[in-house]
Structure 1
Protein backbone atom coordinates (compact mmCIF):
# COMPACT_ATOMS: atom_id res chain seq x y z
CA UNK A 1 0.00 0.00 0.00
CA UNK A 2 1.20 3.49 -0.70
CA UNK A 3 1.47 5.21 2.70
CA UNK A 4 -0.38 3.33 5.42
CA UNK A 5 -0.73 -0.22 6.64
CA UNK A 6 -4.23 -1.65 6.33
CA UNK A 7 -5.02 -4.61 8.57
CA UNK A 8 -7.10 -6.78 6.25
CA UNK A 9 -7.52 -9.56 8.82
CA UNK A 10 -8.97 -7.07 11.31
CA UNK A 11 -11.23 -5.52 8.66
CA UNK A 12 -12.65 -8.90 7.65
CA UNK A 13 -13.09 -9.89 11.33
CA UNK A 14 -15.00 -6.69 12.11
CA UNK A 15 -17.20 -7.03 9.05
CA UNK A 16 -17.94 -10.69 9.83
CA UNK A 17 -18.62 -9.98 13.52
CA UNK A 18 -21.02 -7.15 12.65
CA UNK A 19 -22.79 -9.27 10.00
CA UNK A 20 -21.78 -6.82 7.27
CA UNK A 21 -19.26 -8.87 5.30
CA UNK A 22 -21.71 -9.88 2.55
CA UNK A 23 -23.02 -6.32 2.10
CA UNK A 24 -19.44 -5.00 2.06
CA UNK A 25 -18.49 -7.48 -0.67
CA UNK A 26 -21.65 -6.53 -2.57
CA UNK A 27 -20.57 -2.88 -2.31
CA UNK A 28 -17.13 -3.81 -3.65
CA UNK A 29 -18.86 -5.42 -6.64
CA UNK A 30 -21.19 -2.43 -7.19
CA UNK A 31 -18.27 0.00 -6.96
CA UNK A 32 -16.40 -2.08 -9.54
CA UNK A 33 -19.41 -1.90 -11.84
CA UNK A 34 -19.74 1.85 -11.32
CA UNK A 35 -16.07 2.40 -12.11
CA UNK A 36 -16.15 0.12 -15.16
CA UNK A 37 -19.02 2.20 -16.52
CA UNK A 38 -17.36 5.53 -15.70
CA UNK A 39 -13.56 5.40 -15.51
CA UNK A 40 -13.44 9.09 -14.52
CA UNK A 41 -14.41 8.23 -10.93
CA UNK A 42 -11.14 6.41 -10.29
CA UNK A 43 -9.20 8.98 -12.35
CA UNK A 44 -10.48 11.83 -10.18
CA UNK A 45 -9.88 10.01 -6.90
CA UNK A 46 -6.35 8.94 -7.93
CA UNK A 47 -5.20 12.21 -9.51
CA UNK A 48 -2.70 14.29 -7.55
CA UNK A 49 -3.91 17.29 -9.56
CA UNK A 50 -7.48 17.22 -8.22
CA UNK A 51 -8.16 19.16 -5.04
CA UNK A 52 -8.85 17.17 -1.88
CA UNK A 53 -12.16 19.04 -1.50
CA UNK A 54 -13.25 17.89 -4.96
CA UNK A 55 -12.39 14.29 -4.11
CA UNK A 56 -14.26 14.54 -0.79
CA UNK A 57 -17.31 15.94 -2.61
CA UNK A 58 -17.21 13.05 -5.08
CA UNK A 59 -17.18 10.53 -2.23
CA UNK A 60 -19.98 12.43 -0.48
CA UNK A 61 -22.24 12.64 -3.55
CA UNK A 62 -21.49 9.46 -5.53
CA UNK A 63 -20.49 6.91 -2.92
CA UNK A 64 -21.87 7.72 0.53
CA UNK A 65 -25.57 7.83 -0.49
CA UNK A 66 -25.45 4.52 -2.40
CA UNK A 67 -23.03 2.32 -0.44
CA UNK A 68 -22.94 1.00 3.10
CA UNK A 69 -20.98 2.84 5.77
CA UNK A 70 -18.12 0.29 6.03
CA UNK A 71 -17.37 0.56 2.32
CA UNK A 72 -17.79 4.35 2.27
CA UNK A 73 -15.48 4.63 5.30
CA UNK A 74 -12.83 2.52 3.55
CA UNK A 75 -12.95 4.66 0.39
CA UNK A 76 -12.83 7.81 2.51
CA UNK A 77 -9.83 6.49 4.49
CA UNK A 78 -8.00 5.56 1.28
CA UNK A 79 -8.77 8.99 -0.17
CA UNK A 80 -7.59 10.80 2.97
CA UNK A 81 -4.37 8.78 3.08
CA UNK A 82 -3.65 9.26 -0.63
CA UNK A 83 -3.89 5.49 -1.11
CA UNK A 84 -6.87 5.18 -3.48
CA UNK A 85 -4.58 3.64 -6.12
CA UNK A 86 -4.00 0.78 -3.67
CA UNK A 87 -7.72 -0.10 -3.68
CA UNK A 88 -7.45 -3.02 -6.17
CA UNK A 89 -4.67 -4.66 -4.13
CA UNK A 90 -6.63 -4.13 -0.93
CA UNK A 91 -9.75 -5.73 -2.46
CA UNK A 92 -7.69 -8.69 -3.64
CA UNK A 93 -6.35 -9.09 -0.09
CA UNK A 94 -9.91 -9.02 1.29
CA UNK A 95 -10.96 -11.63 -1.27
CA UNK A 96 -7.98 -13.85 -0.43
CA UNK A 97 -8.71 -13.61 3.31
CA UNK A 98 -12.42 -14.41 2.85
CA UNK A 99 -11.53 -17.28 0.48
CA UNK A 100 -9.07 -18.77 3.00
CA UNK A 101 -11.48 -18.46 5.93
CA UNK A 102 -14.73 -19.54 4.31
CA UNK A 103 -13.82 -21.39 1.12
CA UNK A 104 -15.93 -18.86 -0.83
CA UNK A 105 -15.24 -18.36 -4.52
CA UNK A 106 -15.05 -15.03 -6.31
CA UNK A 107 -16.14 -14.65 -9.90
CA UNK A 108 -15.74 -11.70 -12.22
CA UNK A 109 -18.46 -11.53 -14.87
CA UNK A 110 -17.64 -9.29 -17.82
CA UNK A 111 -20.60 -8.25 -19.99
CA UNK A 112 -21.30 -5.59 -22.61
CA UNK A 113 -23.96 -4.04 -20.37
CA UNK A 114 -24.88 -4.42 -16.71
CA UNK A 115 -26.59 -7.71 -15.90
CA UNK A 116 -29.82 -7.64 -13.92
CA UNK A 117 -30.04 -8.94 -10.38
CA UNK A 118 -31.98 -11.96 -11.63
CA UNK A 119 -29.34 -12.75 -14.25
CA UNK A 120 -26.56 -12.47 -11.68
CA UNK A 121 -28.45 -14.71 -9.25
CA UNK A 122 -28.86 -17.40 -11.95
CA UNK A 123 -25.13 -17.23 -12.70
CA UNK A 124 -24.33 -17.33 -8.96
CA UNK A 125 -26.57 -20.39 -8.42
CA UNK A 126 -24.89 -22.31 -11.26
CA UNK A 127 -21.40 -21.38 -10.08
CA UNK A 128 -22.23 -22.33 -6.47
CA UNK A 129 -23.24 -25.80 -7.70
CA UNK A 130 -19.89 -26.09 -9.50
CA UNK A 131 -17.79 -24.78 -6.59
CA UNK A 132 -19.75 -26.22 -3.70
CA UNK A 133 -19.21 -22.95 -1.79
CA UNK A 134 -20.65 -19.45 -1.57
CA UNK A 135 -19.86 -17.44 -4.71
CA UNK A 136 -19.45 -13.67 -4.76
CA UNK A 137 -19.93 -12.03 -8.16
CA UNK A 138 -18.49 -8.84 -9.57
CA UNK A 139 -20.11 -7.69 -12.82
CA UNK A 140 -17.85 -5.51 -14.97
CA UNK A 141 -18.54 -3.79 -18.27
CA UNK A 142 -16.36 -4.85 -21.20
CA UNK A 143 -17.11 -2.63 -24.17
CA UNK A 144 -15.29 -5.06 -26.49
CA UNK A 145 -17.95 -7.73 -25.97
CA UNK A 146 -20.78 -7.84 -28.50
CA UNK A 147 -23.17 -9.91 -26.40
CA UNK A 148 -23.06 -12.58 -23.74
CA UNK A 149 -20.52 -12.62 -20.95
CA UNK A 150 -17.17 -13.99 -19.82
CA UNK A 151 -16.75 -15.44 -16.33
CA UNK A 152 -13.41 -15.61 -14.59
CA UNK A 153 -13.52 -17.77 -11.47
CA UNK A 154 -10.64 -19.09 -9.40
CA UNK A 155 -8.16 -18.93 -12.27
CA UNK A 156 -10.51 -20.41 -14.88
CA UNK A 157 -12.37 -18.66 -17.67
CA UNK A 158 -15.79 -19.52 -19.05
CA UNK A 159 -16.43 -17.65 -22.30
CA UNK A 160 -20.14 -17.40 -23.08
CA UNK A 161 -19.82 -14.39 -25.36
CA UNK A 162 -20.52 -13.86 -29.04
CA UNK A 163 -16.83 -12.97 -29.43
CA UNK A 164 -15.93 -16.37 -27.97
CA UNK A 165 -18.39 -18.12 -30.27
CA UNK A 166 -16.96 -16.28 -33.29
CA UNK A 167 -13.43 -17.20 -32.24
CA UNK A 168 -14.42 -20.87 -31.93
CA UNK A 169 -16.12 -20.73 -35.33
CA UNK A 170 -13.05 -19.10 -36.90
CA UNK A 171 -10.74 -21.77 -35.43
CA UNK A 172 -12.93 -24.61 -36.71
CA UNK A 173 -13.15 -23.04 -40.17
CA UNK A 174 -9.38 -22.63 -40.34
CA UNK A 175 -8.87 -26.25 -39.27
CA UNK A 176 -11.32 -27.46 -41.97
CA UNK A 177 -9.43 -25.54 -44.66
CA UNK A 178 -6.08 -27.18 -43.85
Structure 2
Protein backbone atom coordinates (compact mmCIF):
# COMPACT_ATOMS: atom_id res chain seq x y z
CA UNK A 1 0.00 0.00 0.00
CA UNK A 2 1.08 3.53 -0.69
CA UNK A 3 3.60 4.73 1.93
CA UNK A 4 2.15 8.24 1.91
CA UNK A 5 -1.34 6.86 2.54
CA UNK A 6 0.04 4.81 5.44
CA UNK A 7 1.60 7.91 7.00
CA UNK A 8 -1.67 9.84 6.80
CA UNK A 9 -3.63 6.84 8.13
CA UNK A 10 -1.25 6.48 11.04
CA UNK A 11 -1.42 10.20 11.82
CA UNK A 12 -5.23 10.33 11.93
CA UNK A 13 -5.33 7.04 13.87
CA UNK A 14 -2.92 8.36 16.50
CA UNK A 15 -4.81 11.67 16.75
CA UNK A 16 -8.12 9.83 17.14
CA UNK A 17 -6.60 7.55 19.78
CA UNK A 18 -5.16 10.51 21.68
CA UNK A 19 -8.45 12.44 21.60
CA UNK A 20 -10.56 9.33 22.33
CA UNK A 21 -12.33 9.67 18.98
CA UNK A 22 -11.49 6.33 17.38
CA UNK A 23 -15.10 5.17 17.12
CA UNK A 24 -16.30 8.50 15.69
CA UNK A 25 -13.49 8.73 13.14
CA UNK A 26 -14.12 5.10 12.18
CA UNK A 27 -17.82 5.90 11.60
CA UNK A 28 -16.83 8.94 9.53
CA UNK A 29 -14.41 6.88 7.46
CA UNK A 30 -16.99 4.14 6.85
CA UNK A 31 -19.37 6.88 5.67
CA UNK A 32 -16.68 8.29 3.34
CA UNK A 33 -15.78 4.83 2.04
CA UNK A 34 -19.44 4.15 1.24
CA UNK A 35 -19.70 7.53 -0.45
CA UNK A 36 -16.68 6.77 -2.64
CA UNK A 37 -17.83 3.27 -3.58
CA UNK A 38 -21.43 4.25 -4.29
CA UNK A 39 -20.47 7.18 -6.51
CA UNK A 40 -18.48 6.75 -9.70
CA UNK A 41 -17.95 10.49 -10.06
CA UNK A 42 -16.65 11.28 -6.56
CA UNK A 43 -13.27 9.45 -6.78
CA UNK A 44 -12.71 10.82 -10.29
CA UNK A 45 -13.56 14.35 -9.13
CA UNK A 46 -11.18 14.14 -6.16
CA UNK A 47 -8.35 12.77 -8.32
CA UNK A 48 -8.86 15.30 -11.15
CA UNK A 49 -5.81 17.62 -11.27
CA UNK A 50 -7.75 20.21 -13.28
CA UNK A 51 -10.13 20.91 -10.39
CA UNK A 52 -8.73 23.24 -7.75
CA UNK A 53 -8.37 22.04 -4.20
CA UNK A 54 -10.71 24.84 -3.06
CA UNK A 55 -13.43 23.52 -5.39
CA UNK A 56 -12.90 20.03 -4.05
CA UNK A 57 -13.25 21.27 -0.46
CA UNK A 58 -16.42 23.20 -1.40
CA UNK A 59 -17.85 20.06 -2.95
CA UNK A 60 -16.90 17.97 0.09
CA UNK A 61 -18.41 20.56 2.42
CA UNK A 62 -21.66 20.35 0.47
CA UNK A 63 -21.75 16.56 0.28
CA UNK A 64 -20.18 15.63 3.61
CA UNK A 65 -20.89 18.81 5.57
CA UNK A 66 -22.19 18.08 9.05
CA UNK A 67 -22.25 14.31 8.46
CA UNK A 68 -18.67 13.91 9.68
CA UNK A 69 -16.85 15.23 12.73
CA UNK A 70 -14.85 18.42 12.69
CA UNK A 71 -11.64 16.39 13.05
CA UNK A 72 -12.49 14.35 9.95
CA UNK A 73 -13.43 17.41 7.91
CA UNK A 74 -10.22 19.17 8.97
CA UNK A 75 -8.32 16.05 7.90
CA UNK A 76 -10.01 16.20 4.48
CA UNK A 77 -9.04 19.87 4.20
CA UNK A 78 -5.44 18.98 5.06
CA UNK A 79 -5.43 16.30 2.36
CA UNK A 80 -6.80 18.83 -0.12
CA UNK A 81 -4.21 21.45 0.79
CA UNK A 82 -1.44 18.87 0.28
CA UNK A 83 -3.03 17.65 -2.98
CA UNK A 84 -3.54 14.18 -1.50
CA UNK A 85 -7.30 13.67 -1.90
CA UNK A 86 -6.65 11.17 -4.68
CA UNK A 87 -5.18 8.75 -2.11
CA UNK A 88 -8.20 9.03 0.19
CA UNK A 89 -9.44 5.49 -0.66
CA UNK A 90 -6.05 4.03 0.31
CA UNK A 91 -6.03 6.06 3.54
CA UNK A 92 -9.52 4.83 4.42
CA UNK A 93 -8.57 1.20 3.77
CA UNK A 94 -5.35 1.45 5.76
CA UNK A 95 -7.21 3.07 8.67
CA UNK A 96 -9.74 0.21 8.58
CA UNK A 97 -6.90 -2.32 8.80
CA UNK A 98 -5.33 -0.39 11.69
CA UNK A 99 -8.66 -0.47 13.54
CA UNK A 100 -8.87 -4.24 13.08
CA UNK A 101 -5.34 -4.65 14.42
CA UNK A 102 -6.12 -2.32 17.34
CA UNK A 103 -9.09 -4.55 18.21
CA UNK A 104 -7.04 -7.75 17.80
CA UNK A 105 -9.15 -8.85 14.82
CA UNK A 106 -7.98 -10.52 11.63
CA UNK A 107 -9.99 -11.01 8.48
CA UNK A 108 -10.23 -14.28 6.68
CA UNK A 109 -12.01 -15.95 3.82
CA UNK A 110 -13.76 -19.31 4.00
CA UNK A 111 -14.31 -20.91 0.61
CA UNK A 112 -16.53 -23.95 0.24
CA UNK A 113 -18.19 -25.85 -2.59
CA UNK A 114 -21.62 -25.44 -1.00
CA UNK A 115 -23.03 -23.13 1.63
CA UNK A 116 -21.94 -24.26 5.09
CA UNK A 117 -24.21 -24.30 8.11
CA UNK A 118 -23.64 -21.57 10.67
CA UNK A 119 -22.52 -24.22 13.18
CA UNK A 120 -19.79 -25.40 10.78
CA UNK A 121 -18.60 -21.85 10.07
CA UNK A 122 -18.47 -21.10 13.80
CA UNK A 123 -16.45 -24.27 14.48
CA UNK A 124 -13.90 -23.31 11.81
CA UNK A 125 -13.80 -19.75 13.13
CA UNK A 126 -13.26 -20.98 16.70
CA UNK A 127 -10.41 -23.25 15.56
CA UNK A 128 -8.74 -20.32 13.77
CA UNK A 129 -9.13 -18.03 16.79
CA UNK A 130 -7.51 -20.65 19.04
CA UNK A 131 -4.72 -21.19 16.52
CA UNK A 132 -4.00 -17.47 15.93
CA UNK A 133 -4.84 -16.04 19.35
CA UNK A 134 -6.96 -13.34 17.69
CA UNK A 135 -10.60 -12.75 16.89
CA UNK A 136 -11.40 -13.78 13.33
CA UNK A 137 -13.93 -12.19 10.98
CA UNK A 138 -14.70 -14.68 8.24
CA UNK A 139 -16.30 -13.86 4.93
CA UNK A 140 -17.72 -16.85 3.11
CA UNK A 141 -17.53 -17.61 -0.57
CA UNK A 142 -18.96 -20.48 -2.57
CA UNK A 143 -16.75 -22.00 -5.29
CA UNK A 144 -18.16 -25.25 -6.65
CA UNK A 145 -14.85 -26.04 -8.40
CA UNK A 146 -13.24 -27.09 -5.09
CA UNK A 147 -15.72 -30.01 -5.25
CA UNK A 148 -16.15 -30.36 -1.47
CA UNK A 149 -14.52 -29.51 1.82
CA UNK A 150 -13.21 -25.99 2.34
CA UNK A 151 -10.27 -23.62 1.97
CA UNK A 152 -9.53 -20.96 4.60
CA UNK A 153 -7.23 -17.97 4.13
CA UNK A 154 -6.30 -15.82 7.13
CA UNK A 155 -3.23 -13.60 6.96
CA UNK A 156 -0.40 -15.86 5.75
CA UNK A 157 -2.22 -19.05 6.76
CA UNK A 158 -3.96 -21.18 4.14
CA UNK A 159 -5.76 -24.33 5.19
CA UNK A 160 -6.79 -26.32 2.14
CA UNK A 161 -9.14 -29.10 3.11
CA UNK A 162 -10.79 -29.33 -0.30
CA UNK A 163 -11.70 -32.46 -2.20
CA UNK A 164 -9.95 -30.95 -5.22
CA UNK A 165 -6.62 -30.90 -3.36
CA UNK A 166 -7.12 -34.42 -2.02
CA UNK A 167 -7.88 -35.72 -5.53
CA UNK A 168 -4.85 -33.90 -6.89
CA UNK A 169 -2.60 -35.52 -4.27
CA UNK A 170 -4.10 -38.93 -5.00
CA UNK A 171 -3.48 -38.44 -8.73
CA UNK A 172 0.16 -37.50 -8.04
CA UNK A 173 0.64 -40.67 -5.98
CA UNK A 174 -0.90 -42.83 -8.69
CA UNK A 175 1.20 -41.18 -11.40
CA UNK A 176 4.38 -41.73 -9.35
CA UNK A 177 3.87 -45.51 -9.37
The TM tier, using the shorter chain, reads: 0.5 to 0.7
Asked if 1:19 corresponds to 2:1, the answer is no
Residue of structure 1 equivalent to 2:48: 47
Residue of structure 2 equivalent to 1:60: 61
Q: Mark the CA change 1:61 to 1:16 in structure 2 (over 3 Å): closer, same or farther.
A: same
Deviations 1:49-89 (A, max 9, x none): 11333212112211232111122122211111111122222
Rg larger for: 2
How many residues end up aligned between the 2 structures? 127
Asked if 1:158 corresponds to 2:159, the answer is no
For the residue of structure 1 that corresponds to 2:89, the secondary structure is helix
Distance 1:14 1:52 in 2: 24
Distance 1:14 1:58 in 2: 25
Residue of structure 1 equivalent to 2:98: 97
The answer (yes or no) to whether the contact 2:6–2:94 under 8 Å persists in 1 is no
Q: Mark the CA change 1:106 to 1:2 in structure 2 (over 3 Å): closer, same or farther.
A: closer
For the residue of structure 1 that corresponds to 2:86, the secondary structure is helix
Bigger helix share? 2
RMSD of equivalent CA atoms: 3.8
> Which stretches of structure 1, 4 residues or longer, exceed 4 Å deviation after superposition?
1-5
TM-score normalised over the length of structure 1: 0.54
- Structure 1 portions without partners, runs of 5+: 108-126, 136-152, 172-178
Point out which structure has higher relative CO (alpha carbons under 8 A, 6+ apart). Answer: 1
Structure 1 position 33, deviation (Å): 1.3
TM-score normalised over the length of structure 2: 0.54
